[in-house]
Amino acid sequence: MTDEQFLFPAGFLWGVAGAAHQIEGGNSNSDCWLLEHIPGAPFAEPSGDACDHYHRYPDDIALISSLGFNTYRFSIEWARIEPEEGEFSHAALEHYRRMLITCHEHNLTPIVTYHHFTSPRWFAAKGGWEISANAEYFARYCERATAALGDLIGAGCTLNEPNVGLLIQEGGHMPSDDEIVKAPFRVAAAKAVGSDTFSAFPACCRHRDARDTFLKAHRLAFDVIKAGPGDFPVGMTLAMADRQALPGSEDVRDRARHEIDDVFLDVARDDDYIGVQTYTRSRYGAEGPLPPEEGVERTQMGYEFWPEALEATIRYAADYTGLPVIVTENGIGTQDDMRRIEYVRRALQGVQRCLSDGIAVRGYCYWSVFDNFEWGFGYRPQFGLIAVDRITQTRTLKPSAEWLGRVARTNTL
């Protein structure tokens, strides 16, 4: 059988992914919005209107479906659903119910992420994820959201990439835990919310402390979501890299992997699936992580063009946990849409090899549906299958959207 004829399993989830803060626009009650407006905080520009998906979701969802996809992964926004501690917004929940109904009307399985980095300001003012007891707030929010939405959810992700801060810190692209406590923008943010602390994930967070809270929050959330209406698989998603060691440096690599991935994978073992998200590889030498080699192709994010990371991380996560895998994110920030197609083609060839070896890969969600707010980088990186005019909000399909839509429709590569 040639690669061109490879048929993916019946019912394979073919999706696109997005996250509330990055596409909805006007998420002004969130910790991230506040930080975006604090001088010195690490944001190239504020998120502003983003893709105005909060208002344009009916057309956007119809467009996703018309391309050939059968799945849409999006996040619901805690800062909208619980704008003040213990105060839940029925209007916000109704909004997300309408979004879910719209997905079903267009034959899209909705994968709902309960937390994709952003939290309400009040939560950040209580120390956010750095404080173990705060896990209970997250569980209460998940319980309320599931009570309102659970009957319509196709699959649930509690937390998006709770390990991403550790991953970025490892590469030296984020202040250390010690530095962050003293960062002037953190002090200013705390002042702005009338607190003596402010912890916002991932840009302004002590990640070692947050890790324990996340692990606890995930288990609490998993239980309340499973106890609510609906009967759908629940898991978490992790930021994974294809971790490669130079000969003799395997123990350096394994130690890093233990701290950043395995402690989460251990806790995920009791879930229904594991969400794999990957973009590149990390190489390790005797001293630790190494930068990409001279001359290798890099994406707009600065890291190496390495689509083979997907096969490696699926194999690792499946082998470690014994769980089915959903690729909840994979993609590339590039101006050159032909490189995007090449990246995804090679990544999907890796998925094929995993499937051929009997690994239970249930679906693939491309990140991202739109060119969107790429956190600290602002709107410069172009991850989208669909371009968005920043003023008119006009959506323009890229060739990759049609290409991946055809792969999805025909279930073949």
C-alpha closest to that of 269 among 317, 328, 212, 217? 317
Binding mask 378-407 for ligand BGC (x = CB under 6 A): -----x------------------------
Pick from 142, 153, 164, 203: which binds ligand BGC (CB under 6 A)? 164
Binding mask 260-299 for ligand BGC (x = CB under 6 A): -----------------x----------------------
What residues form DSSP beta bridges with 71? 15, 109
Cα-to-chain-centroid distance, residue 88: 24
Q: Output the CA–CA distances (angstroms, integers) from residue 174 to 109, 148, 206, 396, 402, in the order listed.
A: 35, 37, 11, 33, 36
Element (H, E) at 281: strand 273-285
Pick from 160, 213, 282, 330: which binds ligand BGC (CB under 6 A)? 160
What does the block give as tokens for 134? Answer: 């705060």
Q: Is 361 in the site for ligand BGC (CB under 6 A)?
A: no
Q: Is 138 in the site for ligand BGC (CB under 6 A)?
A: no
C-alpha closest to that of 375 among 33, 16, 7? 33
Q: Is 329 in the site for ligand BGC (CB under 6 A)?
A: yes
CB-based contact 116:21 (threshold 8 Å): yes
Q: How many CB atoms within 10 Å of residue 85?
A: 12
Tell me the closest approach of the beta carbon of residue 247 to ligand BGC, in angstroms: 30
Task: Considering only the stretches 3-11, 131-139, 159-167, 261-269, report the one whose residues sit in contact with ligand BGC under the rule CB under 6 A.
Answer: 159-167
Cα-to-chain-centroid distance, residue 182: 28
DSSP string over 383-413: --SEEE-TTT--EEE-HHHHHHHHHHHHTB-
Catalytic choice (77, 161, 304, 329): 161
* Burial of 230 (C-beta count, 10 Å sphere; 0-12/13-18/19+): middle
Annotation says 304 is catalytic: no
Pick from 60, 130, 261, 374: which binds ligand BGC (CB under 6 A)? 374
Q: Is 367 in the site for ligand BGC (CB under 6 A)?
A: yes
Task: Considering only the stretches 90-98, 151-159, 160-168, 287-295, report the one whose residues sit in contact with ligand BGC under the rule CB under 6 A.
Answer: 160-168
Task: Considering only the stretches 83-91, 124-132, 157-165, 400-408, report the one whose residues sit in contact with ligand BGC under the rule CB under 6 A.
Answer: 157-165
Tell me the closest approach of the beta carbon of residue 262 to ligand BGC, in angstroms: 19
Binding mask 11-30 for ligand BGC (x = CB under 6 A): --------x--x--------
Q: Which residues form the interface with ligand BGC (CB under 6 A)? A: 19, 22, 160-161, 164, 239, 277, 329, 367, 374, 383
